[in-house]
Amino acid sequence: MNEISFEKMHGAGNDYVYVNGYKYNFDWSKLSESISDRHFGIGSDGLIIAMPSKIADIKMQMFNSDGSEGRMCGNGIRCLVAFAIKNKLINKHQNQISVETLSGIKKVEPIWENNVMVAAKVAMGSPQFSPKSIPILLENMTDISNYPLEINGNILNISCVSIGNPHCVVFTNEDSKEFDISTYGPLVETHNLFPEKVNFEIASIKSRDYVAVDVWERGSGITMACGTGACAVTAIGIKQQLLDTKVTVRLPGGELNVSWTGRDEDEIILEGPVETIFSGIYNFV
């Protein structure tokens, strides 16, 4: 029997189990499957490990609940920094923390209240709209905007972008709560147009600075929030002149603030909360 100490944290309901990878070394993919199980494990959208980095202040390694490794998580990276500061893996007095991810180095700016990190801003990189960068198997197109994708005999007008990982967005005039994302999510995620699978968002624009979003994450299914998904919806909405440059994104688990100038070379900025749920010891075989 093995045991590992952990903290469970969430950003707008997007919950992960956090582990000190400076101290432990296990089969993280296998552990993520068991630890994420909401009946037989701790229960989470996945597992995030704080690891040492040679090129940044710290490294984030993340795994989805199905054991697949993720490239980037906008909600997870904020909580990772809070976890690392609390466990004295990085210096809390830094104004900006650099985090190595599979999608490159991201800069995180902690937000403090009463000497407690309660939120953070993350420079998420610049949105990538080309089919190759997403990736999506559509040639001779500069970007994917309102492309008619047939699912179960219905046409979804999809728009796609990479925010460190691939996203497919559908804007609907209906309240996104009325859309059956549990039906369409897995079908879009595994569609043969997406060689690396894809995250799927259904967005309902309420005003030019407020949008409601439901999320299906590749490898995890329906989640309460998705930071890169919030950025994807905002970036596409701005590019299509549906949204202003500063947007509040309402997700089932809470609200995230996203801003982007609309210029291809500029980074998109995500701001959201950080909360610790509980900590403990997990025993496993």
The secondary structure of 107-164, three-state, reads EEEEEEECCEEEEEEEECCCCECCCCCCCCCCCCCCCCCCEEEEECCEEEEEEEEECC
Instruction: Map tokens 């939120």 to a residue.
Output: 119
- Summarize pLDDT for 13-69 with one digit per residue, the tens: 999 999 999 999 999 999 999 999 999 999 999 999 999 999 999 999 999 999 999
CA distance 146 to 142: 13
pTM: 0.93
Q: Coil, helix or strand for 255?
A: strand
> What's the average model confidence in pLDDT over 108-123?
96
Residue type, 175: D
What's the helix, strand, coil split of the chain in %, to 5? 15, 45, 40
User: Is 147-266 a CATH 3.10.310.10 domain?
Assistant: yes
> What's the average model confidence in pLDDT over 140-164?
94
User: What length is written for the chain?
Assistant: 285
- Summarize pLDDT for 215-252 with one digit per residue, the tens: 999 999 999 999 999 999 999 999 999 999 999 999 99
- pLDDT at residue 174 in the model: 65
CB 16 within 8 A of CB 46: yes
146 Cβ partners below 8 Å, 6+ apart?
A: 157, 158, 159, 240
CB 264 within 8 A of CB 159: no
Tokens representing 79?
A: 């909580």
- Summarize pLDDT for 171-214 with one digit per residue, the tens: 997 654 556 899 999 999 999 999 999 999 999 999 999 999 99
Mean pLDDT, the chain, whole residue set = 95
- pLDDT at residue 208 in the model: 97
2-125+273-284: CATH topology: Diaminopimelate Epimerase; Chain A, domain 1 (3.10.310)
Q: Of 79, 168, 226, 231, which one is the catalytic site residue?
A: 226
Closest CA to 190 of 156, 213, 216, 154: 216
CB 51 within 8 A of CB 60: yes
- pLDDT at residue 91 in the model: 87
- pLDDT at residue 122 in the model: 98
- pLDDT at residue 177 in the model: 53
Is 147-266 the same fold as 2-125+273-284? yes
- Summarize pLDDT for 61-103 with one digit per residue, the tens: 999 999 999 999 999 999 999 999 999 999 888 899 999 999 9
Our answer to whether residue 231 is catalytic in this structure is no
- pLDDT at residue 180 in the model: 84
Alpha helices in 167-250 (DSSP H): 181-189, 227-239
Domain boundaries, the chain: 2-125+273-284, 147-266
- Greater model confidence, 139 or 34: 34
CB 249 within 8 A of CB 255: yes
- pLDDT at residue 181 in the model: 92
**Total Cβ atoms within 10 A of residue 144:** 21
CB 129 within 8 A of CB 97: no
Q: Of 73, 160, 168, 231, which one is the catalytic site residue?
A: 73
Torsion of CA 259, 263, 264, 267, to 10 degrees: -30
Our answer to whether residue 73 is catalytic in this structure is yes
285 Cβ partners below 8 Å, 6+ apart?
A: 1, 2
Alpha helices in the chain (DSSP H): 28-36, 74-86, 181-189, 227-239
